[in-house]
Amino acid sequence: MKELPPTMQNKVNDSLAIIKRKSPERRTLIIGISLCAGILLLLFLVGLETASISARIEGARYIVKSPVDGLVVELPFAEGSRIQNGDALLRFDPSHIREQNSIIRGYLTFFQENRHNSGTLKQKFKPLLGDIFDTLNAERKVLLENETKAQKLYQQGSYAHSRLQLQMRNPANHDEKGLPREDFVAKEKQASLDMKKLEESLQKASLIRATLDKKIRKISADLNSPFGILYRYLEEQHKEVQSLIRNEYLYANTSGKMGKVLVSLGEYVKKDTALYEIMPENSGDWWVYALFDPEDATRFTERELCTVITEDGLEFDARIVSITPKGENTLISLFVQGAPEGIEASDFAKVVKK
């Protein structure tokens, strides 16, 4: 075989070198494609389980209100704290409680000294009784207006009825037999029925107003009775303050978790002011509020059943009730079906769709 010229031999060698240099790059490309495919498969498998960004479990809450006016001087538990039945949750300033007790005792003494003079009692305790009488008087005003309106309608109906009766007696309105015309007879009959209804309405309005007047008189006369509304109110207030004098603390009547604390140290609260929330254990209704990435949230539908996993590894089912945009995320609310024993409020949980 004839050898190639040197120049041609060099070109062939260069071509072979190029082919040899390209081979490793091709293998790298194949390996890269394989790795990408593996990663995509892994992501697909991971995507089969979609978990929440965060979730919190909440039980039924109830609001604890202040039994008296008081100055808050101690709040031992912060929001989210675990509480046990009997734990002291709040302490009032005892000096203020004693002052309240002194005021109530003064009220009781004044009552005993003036209980035969209802006018004096009414004037003294107007701040306490104002709401009662203001409400009753406002109601009486409405009833009196209704009675006046019914009285006016009755008078108008009576006047119209009398005019019809006069027209019926007029010979010009009689027929050939000398009797009142049928159209006047029909009108008079209808007017009589209307008058009966108007009279019944007036009587009813007058009776309701008179009944309320009687109630107001009874309450006024009741003021100076040791069994009356005023004395019962004062006794009730005295008992409540006395109970706090013996112990200025308010105690938890159930175990669970402290919800929102609605007052602060040094705050003066009025009676019936909301103090804090409590989320009791095994309260019956339990809810889970979970935040999801918006894209992940699209995989969920209402009424779908999901798994909730607590920090301690407790798992239970909850059904989706609502799916709502929440800022940059999506809030999914779930209702726990057949809440397991030992479940408690927690901010450390996750919701999983498998």
Whether residue 103 is found in the same domain as residue 235: yes
143: containing domain: 99-241
**Cut 0.75: pTM above it:** no
Whether residue 332 is found in the same domain as residue 224: no
Q: Is residue 29 part of a domain?
A: no
Mean residue pLDDT across the chain: 79
Whether residue 178 is found in the same domain as residue 293: no
Whether residue 56 is found in the same domain as residue 110: no
Whether residue 181 is found in the same domain as residue 307: no
How many structural domains does the chain have? 2
Nearest to 81 by CA among 346, 266, 349: 346
Taking only Cα atoms into account, the Rg of the chain, rounded to an integer number of angstroms, comes to 43
Q: What is the distance between the alpha carbons of residues 164 and 191, in angstroms, rounded to a whole number? A: 8
Whether residue 230 is found in the same domain as residue 289: no
pLDDT confidence of residue 352: 93
Mean pLDDT, rounded, for 111-125: 76
Question: How do residues 189-236 score in pLDDT, each as one tens digit?
Answer: 888 899 899 999 999 999 999 988 888 777 766 666 666 667 777 777
Mean pLDDT, rounded, for 318-337: 92
Choice between 190 and 47, residue whose per-residue pLDDT is larger: 190
Q: Is residue 206 part of a domain?
A: yes
End-to-end CA distance of the chain: 72
Q: What is the distance between the alpha carbons of residues 144 and 208, in angstroms, rounded to a whole number? A: 9
pLDDT confidence of residue 120: 79
Mean pLDDT, rounded, for 13-22: 41
C-alpha 328: how far from chain center: 27
Task: Note whether 286 and 344 are within 8 A (CB).
Answer: no
Mean pLDDT, rounded, for 140-160: 91
Confidence of residue 5 (pLDDT cuts 50, 70, 90): low
Confidence of residue 293 (pLDDT cuts 50, 70, 90): very high
Q: Is residue 203 part of a domain?
A: yes
Q: Is residue 335 part of a domain?
A: yes
Does residue 13 have a pLDDT over 50?
no
Which of 20-34, 116-130, 169-183, 300-314 shows the lowest per-residue confidence on average (mean pLDDT)? 20-34
Nearest to 345 by CA among 253, 282, 273, 268: 282
Whether residue 139 is found in the same domain as residue 188: yes
Q: Is residue 268 part of a domain?
A: no
Q: Is residue 248 part of a domain?
A: no
Whether residue 125 is found in the same domain as residue 177: yes
Q: In terms of C-beta density within 10 A (0-12 exposed, 13-18 middle, 19 or more buried), how is residue 105 classed?
A: middle
Inter-axis angle of helices 229-246 and 182-222, to 10 degrees?
Answer: 40
Nearest to 342 by CA among 311, 321, 320: 311
Whether residue 181 is found in the same domain as residue 288: no
pLDDT confidence of residue 249: 83
Does residue 18 have a pLDDT over 90?
no
Whether residue 231 is found in the same domain as residue 167: yes
CATH number (domain holding residue 315): 2.40.30.170
Dump the DSSP string for 276-305.
Answer: EEEEETT-S-EEEEEEE-HHHHTT--TT-E
What are 278's strand-pairing partners?
62, 258
Whether residue 185 is found in the same domain as residue 311: no
